[in-house]
C-alpha cells in the first residue's frame, strides 16, 4: 500500500465512521484514496469548523473524532480546536499534510512546523519521517488519544510519505514503554478513601469530566445514594448526575449555584472524582473548602495535588475505583446534613426577574421543557454558556458540549454538527450568543449541504455579553468595544443608548435563509414557547434569533480572587 492507502486502511481498522476536514495539495493523495472509500467525509467550510465538529462527535459519542487538513495554514487553523480538546481531555486524531521530507526546513510553500506549534496543545504529536513507521504511529495515535486521560493526537505526514509504498501491516495492538496509564487504583488507597467516607458527617461528591470520559455515571449515582451525599459538578461534569434529583447541587464555582458553593465551604469531606480543581471552581484557593479533607480520584496523577491539598489520592480509572469503593461502603444516612442542603436550596434558588422583556433564562427553561431535558445541547462561550449550564437541568452525560478549559468562542455550532453526525436520531441544539455564533457561521453551509438538522438558538443582546457584564459591574459601565450593532452614526464612546442603532447586525434570519436554512425571530415574551416549538419541529437546520434583554447578567457571580461563598447575587 501507499502511505495514503494505509491511512484509509487504518481508519477502517479503527472503526472510523466519520471524518471532518478540508482538502489541499499536501493531502491530495489521501483524498484521492477517500474517493473510493465508504467512510463518510464531511467537508466543512473552515478547518476550525472541522476540528470542533470532530470534538463534538467525540464528546457526544465517546469515540475518537477524526479530522484531516492540509499543510501550513490548513494545519495551523486546527490549533484552536486542538487546544480546546486538550484542555477538556477530548480524544481526537488529527491528520495533517506536510511538505515533502526533503523540503522540510526550507521554507517551502505552505510549510509550517506543525509539531512545534502544537506540542503544548496536544497529548502527543508525530512527524512521520519513514514510511515503515507509519502503521505503528497511526495505531499509537488512536491508542494514546483514547486511553488514560483522553486528548488530541496529531500526526503530520509529509507528501512523499503518503506516496511511498510499504509492505508493513496495521498492528492489532501497540505497546508504548513510556506510556502505561494506571487503570486499577491502589487497593490501600481505596481502603483509606472508603474509611474517610465512612467517618464523614458532611460529605460532598464533586464530579467532573473524568466521570464522563470513564462512563462512570452509574457508579457515581450508586455512591451518592449509598452514602446519602449531595453531588455538585464542574461545567464539564454536567449530566453525570441527574440535576432533577434532590441530592443534586448542580454546578459550583464562579457562576455555580449558591447552595453548591455553600455546601463545599461547609463540607468536612470532598470526594473529588475526575476533576482538576481549576480556578473557576476554587475561587480564592487559600479559602477553598477550609473544613474539608479531600479524596481525589483521577486517572491522571499530574492533576492530583496540583491546585489543592489532598488527604487521600487515588490514581486510576474512576469507573473502576468507584466500583471498588462502593463495595467497601455500608449504607449511610446524613439527615442533618441533607436538611441543611435542602434549606440552602430553598433559600437560595437560581432565579431571575420577570420585567416584560425576554429573559434568556426563560428561553433556556422553555427549550428544556420542549425537549424533556433529553436533547444534546452545545453552547458557545460566555453568558449563553452559563445560562444553559444553570437552567437546562441535564439528566444524562454526553448531552452537554461546551468549551470549558479554553473558553473557545465559535465552538458550539460546529460541535453540534459533529454531534448530529454521531447521533442522527437525536435532537441537537446549539445555544449561542450573537457574537460567538459569527465566529464559525460559515458552517451553516455544512449543515445545509449534509441536511444535518441542528437547531441554533441565538440569545441576541447586541453585545459581547459577558465582557459587557464585567464592564458594567467592575468598570463603571465604561462599555468599550462590545457593541455588535455599531454603525457609522455612533459616537466614539457609545453610552449604549438605543438611538440610531440598527436592529439586527447581521439579520440572522435573512442570513439563515441565504444559506438555505429556516430562520425565525422572537421579539416578545409571549412568542417564545410557540416559536421555539415550531423551530424544533421544522425539518433541517434552523436558526432562531431571540432578542433578549441586553441588561440581563449571569448570577450568581464570584468576583475574581474571592472565595466561592462570597457571591454577587444580582445588581440593585
Q: Which string of DSSP letters, residue by residue, matches 310-327? A: -SEEEES-HHHHHHHHHH
Nearest by Cα to 198 from 325, 315, 288: 325
Residue 87, number of CB atoms within 10 A of its CB:
19
Distances (CA, A) of 532 to 224, 429, 523, 529: 36, 11, 12, 5
**Catalytic choice (13, 110, 287, 529):** 110
Query: Among 275, 279, 268, which residue's Cα sits nearest to residue 318?
Result: 275
Give the single-character DSSP code of 281.
H
Given this model, what pLDDT does residue 38 score?
A: 96
| Whether residue 330 is found in the same domain as residue 392 | no
Residues in the chain: 572
**Mean per-residue pLDDT, 66-79:** 98
3-state per-residue secondary structure call for 140-159: HHHHHHHCCCCCEEEEEEEH
- Say whether pLDDT at 491 is over 80: no
Q: Is the pLDDT of residue 120 over 90?
A: yes
* CA 437/CA 459 separation, integer angstroms: 10
Cβ partners under 8 Å of residue 337, min gap 6: 201, 202, 203, 230
Whether residue 153 is found in the same domain as residue 209: no
Mark whether 320 and 401 lie in a shared domain: no
For residue 451, how many other CB atoms are within 10 A of its CB?
11
Which of 295, 318, 347 is the C-terminal boundary of a domain?
347
Instruction: Establish whether 87 is a catalytic residue.
Output: no
Judge if 304 and 446 occupy the same domain.
Answer: no
Specify the CATH number for the domain of residue 199.
3.40.50.1220
CA atoms within 13 A on the CB side of 556: 26
Average pLDDT (485-514) is: 76
- Main-chain dihedrals φ then ψ at residue 417, nearest 5 degrees: -60, -45
Residue range 51-64: mean pLDDT, rounded? 98
Query: Which domain CATH number covers 124?
Result: 3.40.50.970
Residue with grid cell 494505509, as numbered in its chain:
6
Residue 565 in any domain: the answer is no
For all residues of the chain together, what is the average pLDDT?
95
Q: What is the pLDDT of residue 496?
A: 55
- % pLDDT > 70, the chain: 97
Alpha carbon distances (Å) from 384 to 270, 363, 378, 437, 483: 29, 11, 10, 11, 16
- When pLDDT is cut at 50, 70 and 90, the band that residue 572 belongs to is very low
Query: Confidence band (pLDDT; 50, 70, 90) for 497?
Result: low
Catalytic option among 1, 31, 47, 385: 47
343, 408: one domain: no
Answer yes or no: are the C-beta atoms of 190 and 181 closer than 8 Å: no
The band of 480, judged by pLDDT with boundaries at 50, 70 and 90, is confident
Is the pLDDT at 196 greater than 70? The verdict is yes
**Does residue 558 register a pLDDT over 60?**
yes
pLDDT, tens digit, 9 for 90 and up, residues 424-443 = 999 999 999 999 999 999 99
Q: Is 466 a catalytic residue?
A: yes
The answer to whether residue 518 scores a pLDDT higher than 60 is yes
- What does the pLDDT look like over 129-145, one tens digit per residue? 999 999 999 999 999 99
Q: Are residues 40 and 115 in the same domain?
A: yes
Q: How confident is the model at residue 479, as a pLDDT?
A: 87
CB 274 within 8 A of CB 318: yes
pLDDT (average), residues 506-514? 96
Residue 128 clears pLDDT 50, i.e. is over it: yes
Same domain, 337 and 199: yes
Q: How far is Cα 116 from Cα 215, in angstroms, rounded to an integer?
A: 33
Active site residue 479: no
Q: Stretch 529-558: mean pLDDT, rounded? A: 96
pLDDT at 488: 72
Contacts of 220 (CB under 8 A, 6+ apart): 205, 207, 211, 231, 240, 241, 273, 322
137, 279: one domain: no
* Same domain? 400 vs 272: no
Q: Which of 131, 163, 195 is the last residue of a domain?
A: 163
Give me Rg for the CA atoms of the chain.
24
Does the residue 560 lie in any domain? no
Q: Which helix (H) or strand (E) holds 454?
A: none
pLDDT of res. 505? 80
Q: Cα–Cα distance between 337 and 348 in angstroms, integer? A: 16
Domain contains 572: no
Mean pLDDT over 181-210 rounds to 97
Residue 561 lies in a domain: no
pLDDT-above-90 percentage for the chain: 93
| CA pair distance 530, 520, nearest whole angstrom | 11
Nearest CA among 89, 11, 14 for reference residue 55: 89
User: Number of folded domains in the chain?
Assistant: 3
Q: Which of 541, 527, 424, 543 is nearest to 57 (CA)?
A: 424
Q: Name the domain boundary from 94, 129, 163.
A: 163
Confidence check: pLDDT of 66 > 60: yes
pTM of the model: 0.96
Per annotation, catalytic residue among 264, 427, 439, 466:
466
278-282: list long-range contacts, CB under 8 Å, 24+ apart. Answer: 278/234, 278/307, 278/405, 279/307, 280/235, 280/253, 280/254, 281/234, 281/252, 281/253, 281/254, 281/564, 282/253, 282/307, 282/308, 282/564
> Residue 556 has which C-alpha cell?
450568581
Report residue 34 as a C-alpha cell.
477517500
Q: Where are the beta strands (DSSP E) in 328-486?
A: 376-379, 400-401, 428-433, 455-460
- Per-residue confidence (pLDDT) for residue 173, from 0 to 100: 96
Q: Is residue 558 in a domain? A: no
Query: Residue 59 — very low, low, confident or very high, per pLDDT cuts 50/70/90?
Result: very high
Q: Tell me how far apart the alpha carbons of residues 432 and 572 are, in angstroms, rounded to a whole number.
A: 27
Together in a domain, 194 and 290: yes
The answer to whether position 172 is within a domain reads no
Whether residue 387 sits in one domain with residue 310: no
Give residue 384's pLDDT.
98
Residue 28 and residue 36: Cα distance in Å, rounded? 14
Say if 571 falls within a structural domain.
no
pLDDT in tens, 414-429: 999 999 999 999 999 9
Those residues with Cβ within 8 angstroms of residue 432's Cβ, 6 or more apart along the chain or in another chain: 379, 380, 384, 412, 413, 456, 457, 458, 459
322 and 365 share one domain: no
DSSP 297: E
Choosing from 12, 109, 218, 474, the catalytic residue is 109
Q: Name the residue range of residue 327's domain.
A: 187-347
Instruction: Answer whether residue 494 shows pLDDT above 70.
Output: no
Confidence of residue 507 (pLDDT cuts 50, 70, 90): very high
Domain assignment of residue 556, yes or no: no
Q: Please, are residues 298 and 304 in contact by the beta-carbon 8 Å criterion?
A: yes
Looking at residue 356, its pLDDT comes to: 85
User: Is a pLDDT exceeding 70 seen at residue 265?
Assistant: yes
Amino acid at each position: 500500500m501507499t502511505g495514503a492507502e494505509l491511512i484509509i486502511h487504518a481508519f477502517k481498522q479503527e472503526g472510523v465512521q466519520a471524518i471532518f476536514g478540508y482538502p489541499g495539495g499536501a493531502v491530495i493523495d489521501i483524498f484521492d484514496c477517500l474517493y473510493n472509500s465508504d467512510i463518510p467525509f464531511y467537508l466543512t467550510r473552515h478547518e476550525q469548523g472541522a476540528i470542533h465538529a470532530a470534538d463534538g462527535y467525540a464528546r457526544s459519542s465517546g469515540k475518537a473524532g477524526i479530522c484531516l487538513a492540509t499543510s501550513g495554514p490548513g494545519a495551523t487553523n486546527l490549533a484552536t480546536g486542538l487546544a480546546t480538546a486538550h484542555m477538556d481531555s477530548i480524544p481526537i486524531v488529527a491528520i495533517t499534510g506536510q511538505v515533502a521530507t526533503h523540503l522540510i526546513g526550507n521554507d517551502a510553500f505552505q510549510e509550517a512546523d506543525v509539531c512545534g506549534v502544537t506540542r503544548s496543545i496536544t497529548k502527543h504529536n508525530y512527524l512521520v519521517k519513514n514510511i515503515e513507521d507509519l502503521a505503528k504511529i497511526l495505531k499509537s495515535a488512536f491508542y494514546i488519544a483514547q486511553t488514560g486521560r483522553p486528548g488530541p493526537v496529531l500526526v503530520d505526514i509529509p507528501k512523499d510519505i503518503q506516496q511511498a509504498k510499504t509492505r508493513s501491516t496495521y498492528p492489532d495492538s501497540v505497546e508504548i514503554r513510556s506510556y502505561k496509564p494506571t487503570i486499577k487504583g491502589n487497593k490501600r488507597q481505596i481502603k483509606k478513601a472508603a474509611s474517610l467516607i465512612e467517618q464523614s458527617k458532611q460529605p460532598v461528591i464533586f464530579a467532573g469530566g473524568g466521570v464522563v470520559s470513564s462512563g462512570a455515571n452509574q457508579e457515581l449515582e450508586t455512591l451518592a445514594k449509598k452514602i446519602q451525599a449531595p453531588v455538585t459538578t464542574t461545567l464539564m461534569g454536567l449530566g453525570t448526575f441527574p440535576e432533577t434529583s434532590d441530592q443534586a447541587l448542580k454546578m459550583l464555582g464562579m457562576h455555580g449555584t449558591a447552595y453548591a458553593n455553600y455546601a463545599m465551604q461547609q463540607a468536612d469531606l470532598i470526594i473529588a472524582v475526575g476533576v482538576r480543581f481549576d480556578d473557576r471552581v476554587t475561587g480564592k484557593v487559600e479559602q477553598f473548602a477550609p473544613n474539608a479533607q479531600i479524596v481525589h480520584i483521577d486517572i491522571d496523577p499530574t492533576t492530583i495535588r496540583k491546585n489543592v491539598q489532598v488527604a487521600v489520592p487515588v490514581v486510576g480509572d474512576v469507573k473502576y475505583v468507584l466500583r471498588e469503593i462502593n463495595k467497601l461502603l455500608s449504607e449511610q444516612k446524613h439527615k442533618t446534613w441533607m436538611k441543611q442542603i435542602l434549606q440552602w436550596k430553598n433559600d437560595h434558588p437560581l432565579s431571575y426577574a420577570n420585567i416584560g422583556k425576554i429573559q434568556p433564562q426563560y428561553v433556556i427553561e422553555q427549550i428544556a421543557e420542549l425537549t424533556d431535558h433529553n436533547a444534546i445541547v452545545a453552547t458557545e462561550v460566555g453568558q449563553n454558556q452559563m445560562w444553559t449550564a444553570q437552567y437546562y437541568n441535564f439528566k444524562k452525560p454526553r448531552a452537554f458540549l461546551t468549551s470549558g478549559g479554553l473558553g473557545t468562542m465559535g465552538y458550539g455550532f460546529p460541535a453540534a454538527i459533529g454531534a448530529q453526525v454521531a447521533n442522527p436520531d437525536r435532537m441537537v441544539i446549539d445555544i449561542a450568543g450573537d457574537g460567538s455564533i459569527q465566529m464559525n457561521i460559515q458552517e451553516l453551509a455544512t449543515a445545509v449541504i449534509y441536511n444535518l438538522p441542528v437547531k441554533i438558538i441565538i440569545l441576541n443582546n447586541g453585545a459581547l455579553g459577558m465582557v459587557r457584564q464585567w464592564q458594567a459591574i467592575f468598570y463603571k459601565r465604561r462599555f468599550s468595544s462590545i457593541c455588535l450593532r455599531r454603525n457609522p452614526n455612533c459616537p466614539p464612546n457609545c453610552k449604549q443608548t438605543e438611538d440610531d442603532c440598527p436592529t439586527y447586525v447581521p439579520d440572522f434570519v435573512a442570513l439563515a435563509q441565504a444559506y438555505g436554512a429556516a430562520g425565525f425571530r422572537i421579539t416578545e415574551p409571549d412568542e417564545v414557547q410557540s416559536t421555539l416549538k415550531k423551530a424544533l419541529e421544522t425539518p433541517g437546520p434552523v436558526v432562531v434569533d431571540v432578542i433578549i434583554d441586553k441588561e440581563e447578567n449571569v448570577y450568581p457571580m464570584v468576583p475574581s480572587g474571592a472565595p466561592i461563598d462570597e457571591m454577587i447575587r444580582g445588581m440593585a
